[in-house]
Amino acid sequence: MNTIKHNIMLKKFIHSAYICSVSINCIMEKQVYNRIKAVLAEKGKTNNWLADQLEMNRTTISKWCRNDMQPRIETLFQIAKVLEIDVRLLLISTDSKT
């Protein structure tokens, strides 16, 4: 009986360790696609200001700034308009020379 309990506990531990490992790898390999947070800081603006300007949920803006979620192309153009910048400044360049 103790051996069965031990095996079950060991399987649960191994499963938990695997889940943790997968989560850490996902965090470490997180891609950054937009520069919204950086541009807001450069302009002296906040997430809340942007949410008000776009009439959008503050949580959504926060997810964009953390690169947890990406805005639609149309929304990127709206963001650029309210920040009075070229839309290309909101994206990370794919050109390694820049």
Tell me the CB-side half-sphere exposure of residue 85, using CA atoms within 13 A.
16
Is pLDDT at 13 greater than 70 in this prediction? no
CA 20/CA 82 separation, integer angstroms = 40
Average pLDDT for 12-27: 56
User: What pLDDT is attached to residue 16?
Assistant: 62
User: What pLDDT is attached to residue 79?
Assistant: 98
Q: Are 80 and 86 in contact (CB under 8 A)?
A: yes
Total Cβ atoms within 10 A of residue 87: 14
CA 31/CA 59 separation, integer angstroms = 20
Q: What is the pTM of this model?
A: 0.68
The pLDDT tens digits for 36-90 are 999 999 999 999 999 999 999 999 999 999 999 999 999 999 999 999 999 999 9
Burial of 5 (0-12, 13-18, 19+ CB in 10 A): exposed
